[in-house]
Chains A and B, each alone.
Chain A
Amino acid sequence: MEISDRNAGWRKELREAVKGKERTDIPRVKMPERHPADRVKSQRLEVNTGLTAGMAQQEARRCMDCIQPTCMEGCPVSIDIPGFIKNIERGAFPEAAAVLKRTSALPAVCGRVCPQEKQCEARCFYTEKLKKEPVAIGYLERFAADYERESGQAYIPETAPSNGIRIAVVGSGPSGLSFAGDMVKKGYRVTVFEALHEIGGVLKYGIPEFRLPNRIVDFEIENLRRMGVTFVSNFIVGMTQTIDGLKAEGFKGFYVASGAGLPRFMGIPGENANGVLSSNEYLTRVNLMGADMPEADTPVFRGKQVVVVGGGNTAMDSVRTAKRLGAERAVIVYRRSEAEMPARIEEVKHAKEEGCEFLPLTNPVEYIMNEQGRVKQVKVQQMGLGEPDASGRRSPVPLAGSEYLIEADVVVVAVGVSPNPIIPDSVAGLDVSKWGTIVVNDETMESNLSGLFAGGDIVRGGATVILAMGDGRRAAAHMDRLFHTQERP
């Protein structure tokens, strides 16, 4: 294709126009962001304000347009990274967005929430060979997607003529949306069922608006709607209607992307005290139910001293939300060292700028409550680092006699999630692991039941947006193949 062909005339000219040395001398662009003192005033002001066209083109110029782009190997959905970046360099922004959309249903989302420093940017020529800061692939992805959206001339991907085959998607999070987008392009009649009253799954209830504004998610959903995807909210597959019931109504294929349903707790004394809650509950009350706004009916605890347990993105989202809800002190308590934190580097940086405190190598052992049953203190112990564990990270080891108390009126537990049991419990004969995840063929994403595919956190038990989307794409490709095989005489 002309817009992404490395040997196209325009691209050759572009490569020859600027010398390599000149490209590598350009410093990496800095993402413009709101001042910390301003941004902590609202849950709904995006922190990163996005690159200007000039900044994006300058950054795109840094990309060497490698013959063998290793960055693409770092991307779970193999986005044509040099292809979209070179379109930005030449100023063809809508074309850049079109290249992105070929492989990613949600580029404006991925540009904001992907852990680029562990994926594409970790494999960039600058990182690997020059030991310099990588090309800001994530910022550029966001720029192209935002430019297209704001231009008001969004490109709606073409869809094949309808084949009339009805497909049900369980869950409207990133995995379900990405699957739905691919299947509707292939001509299937796709219906997405969502348990909550809003479409978008974790992109709506989980990720706060200061990181991913809802209007961006809604825009992507609207595009899918225009392509022909039907969305049904307030519908719990397995409860409102079973998979067998949907089959009887004519649905032929199923993609289960019901997400990671159950928040994990640590099983320590006092954990059921009032004021101790899961990050899922805390973030859902604010992000989905709007508890940060005075006109919302849903309450949320506005703690003065908030302790957040965990070191992932959800923990960062929670601690920064606490600041925005007026916490005087918002503290991350994490059992490993900061180097082992799974959160994106940018989220840690932003949290620190906003005045959140970090207590690494610290682990809660007990919650102490007042006479009314409300948490008032967290007993923590200090940890040392031992031998590497199964995750390859050095394992935390408690230090004897190191316990002390931290004052806290709200504690948010963000230590991971377990898979939602509703589908595994409601489908007879479905192969489920001892952890409650649905067992699928790694390559095709099909379960042991023909025509029932699954992906995202219900299979992985807790992963990233981009991996969940990758699963959706693979499942779509293989479900399509399955129907083609069946149609053959």
Chain B
Amino acid sequence: MNKILRKRNFSDRVVQMEIEAPLIARARKPGNFVIVRVGEKGERIPLTISAADPQKGTITLVVQKMGFSSTKIAHLEEGESLTDLVGPLGKPTHISKVGTVLACGGGVGVAPLLPIIRGFKEAGNRVVSIIAARTEELVILEEEVRKHSDEMLVMTDDGSYGRKGLVTEGMEEIIKREKIDLAVTLGPAVMMKFCALLTKKHNIPTIASLNSIMVDGTGMCGACRVTVGGKTRFTCVDGPEFDAHQVDFDELISRLGAYRKEEIEKLNR
């Protein structure tokens, strides 16, 4: 059973959970995700791994209450167990020494960005991180990101914490200041879209980690298909990371809202 050993509330809507999962803790690499299910009638939803401790045999997930099933998971308490947990899934991040990496995380996307930041740092890169959120209470993992980055910038849309402005404003400033060899963007699809537009303008290779809808997570259902460079790819087995300049983000945004009507009906039932 995958017991929740520790739970920390980042805010009313965002929680961090350390979960017993010895095999996944050993096998996972930065960029991998898991599928989680809660309850016998529960839905399978993908969540990216934020950290793992192979010695303790645990993985850490950060969950934001977005819809019905993420709320159900976030409401689990310490000592309770997930009904099902499977992984690690997806292709891990391709980490190498490239020079300077600009890592941009938005909202809860900062959690899965953290192991990628650590990976690039450990591979000998200079890592500049920007973490962005709508407002102060949604800024997460600031200390951890700071610890593993050479420099870190916090941005909030409303200016309630750190610098006021969108993530792209911070990016622009850093791109002007120094040569960036690779950008990584992880967060809401619309944020990744604008990050990609900006880095494309500056010819900076960029990877985006996509958060498509999935059922099985192993390539079987095709719910997670996305157009990359004009070709249909499956986020679960071909991704979740792709060349951000090739991703059709408008299609991704539309597909993420596919079940909005059904989701609202379920929340009201």
> Contact residues of A with B, CB < 8 Å?
195-197, 205, 233-236, 239-241, 259, 261-263, 265, 267, 271-272, 274-275, 277-278, 280-281, 284-285, 289-290, 293-301, 372-374, 420-422
B88 within 8 A of A: yes
Q: In the assembled complex, which residues on chain B have CB atoms less than 8 Å from the CB atom of A259?
A: 220
What are the 6 A-B residue pairs with the smallest beta carbon separation, nearest first? A299-B262, A373-B254, A281-B221, A297-B43, A234-B86, A274-B258
- Closest-by-CB residue of B relative to A419 is B219
Known: A235-B86, A241-B27, A272-B227. A298 touches B44 (CB 8 A): yes
B182 within 8 A of A: no
Q: How would residues 189 to 219 of chain B score, 1 for a CB under 8 Å from any chain A CB and 0 otherwise? A: 0000000000000000000000000011011
Q: How far is the CA of A308 from the CA of B128 in the complex (A)?
A: 50
Q: Are A278 and B254 in contact (CB under 8 A)?
A: no
Q: Are B255 and A234 in contact (CB under 8 A)?
A: no
Q: Are A261 and B219 in contact (CB under 8 A)?
A: yes
- Closest-by-CB residue of A relative to B215 is A284
Q: Between A and B, how many residue pairs show CB distances below 8 Å?
A: 120
Distance to closest chain B CB from A231 (angstroms): 14
Distance to closest chain A CB from B38 (angstroms): 8
Q: How far is the CA of A197 from the CA of B44 in the complex (A)?
A: 10
Distance to closest chain B CB from A190 (angstroms): 20
Q: Are A272 and B232 in contact (CB under 8 A)?
A: yes
Q: In the assembled complex, which residues on chain B have CB atoms less than 8 Å from the CB atom of A294?
A: 269
Q: In the assembled complex, which residues on chain A have CB atoms less than 8 Å from the CB atom of B257?
A: 274, 373
Q: Are A280 and B39 in contact (CB under 8 A)?
A: no
Which residue of the partner chain, among B88, B216, B232, B255, contacts A267 with CB atoms under 8 Å?
A: B232
Q: Are A289 and B44 in contact (CB under 8 A)?
A: yes
Q: Are B88 and A239 in contact (CB under 8 A)?
A: yes
Q: In the assembled complex, which residues on chain B have CB atoms less than 8 Å from the CB atom of A284?
A: 215-216, 220-221
- Closest-by-CB residue of B relative to A420 is B219
Q: Are B255 and A272 in contact (CB under 8 A)?
A: yes
27 contacts between A and B (CB under 8 A): A196-B86, A205-B216, A236-B86, A236-B87, A236-B89, A240-B88, A261-B219, A261-B220, A261-B237, A262-B220, A262-B237, A265-B222, A272-B227, A272-B251, A280-B221, A285-B215, A297-B68, A297-B69, A297-B72, A297-B266, A298-B215, A299-B259, A299-B262, A372-B254, A420-B220, A421-B219, A422-B237
Chain B, range 23-57, C-beta contacts under 8 Å to A = 23-24, 27, 37, 39, 41-44
Q: In the assembled complex, which residues on chain A have CB atoms less than 8 Å from the CB atom of B86?
A: 195-197, 234-236, 240
Q: In the assembled complex, which residues on chain A have CB atoms less than 8 Å from the CB atom of B44?
A: 197, 289, 298
B263 within 8 A of A: yes
B184 within 8 A of A: no
Q: In the assembled complex, which residues on chain A have CB atoms less than 8 Å from the CB atom of B87?
A: 236, 239-240
Q: How far is the CA of A180 from the CA of B250 in the complex (A)?
A: 47
User: In the complex, which of the residues B43, B85, B89 has the most CB atoms of chain A within 10 Å of its own CB atom?
Assistant: B43
Q: Are B259 and A295 in contact (CB under 8 A)?
A: no
- Closest-by-CB residue of A relative to B225 is A272
Q: In the assembled complex, which residues on chain B have CB atoms less than 8 Å from the CB atom of A290?
A: 41
B249 within 8 A of A: no
B234 within 8 A of A: yes
Other than the given A195-B218, A261-B219, A289-B44, 16 more pairs (CB < 8 A) read A195-B86, A196-B216, A234-B85, A235-B86, A236-B89, A236-B218, A240-B88, A262-B237, A263-B220, A278-B222, A285-B215, A290-B41, A297-B72, A297-B266, A301-B262, A420-B220
B76 within 8 A of A: no
- Closest-by-CB residue of A relative to B41 is A296
B122 within 8 A of A: no
- Closest-by-CB residue of A relative to B37 is A197
Q: How far is the CA of A261 from the CA of B222 in the complex (A)?
A: 10
Q: In the assembled complex, which residues on chain A have CB atoms less than 8 Å from the CB atom of B266?
A: 297, 299
Distance to closest chain A CB from B260 (angstroms): 9
Q: How far is the CA of A409 from the CA of B188 in the complex (A)?
A: 28
B223 within 8 A of A: yes
Q: How far is the CA of A265 from the CA of B69 in the complex (A)?
A: 29
B84 within 8 A of A: yes
Known: A272-B232, A274-B258, A297-B68. A422 touches B218 (CB 8 A): yes
Q: Are B222 and A281 in contact (CB under 8 A)?
A: yes
Q: In the assembled complex, which residues on chain B have CB atoms less than 8 Å from the CB atom of A373?
A: 251, 254-255, 257
- Closest-by-CB residue of A relative to B237 is A421
Q: How would residues 56 to 69 of chain B score, 1 for a CB under 8 Å from any chain A CB and 0 otherwise? A: 00000000000011
Q: In the assembled complex, which residues on chain A have CB atoms less than 8 Å from the CB atom of B237?
A: 261-262, 421-422
Q: How far is the CA of A197 from the CA of B83 in the complex (A)?
A: 9
Q: How far is the CA of A241 from the CA of B23 in the complex (A)?
A: 7
Distance to closest chain A CB from B72 (angstroms): 7
Q: In the assembled complex, which residues on chain B have CB atoms less than 8 Å from the CB atom of A239?
A: 27, 87-89
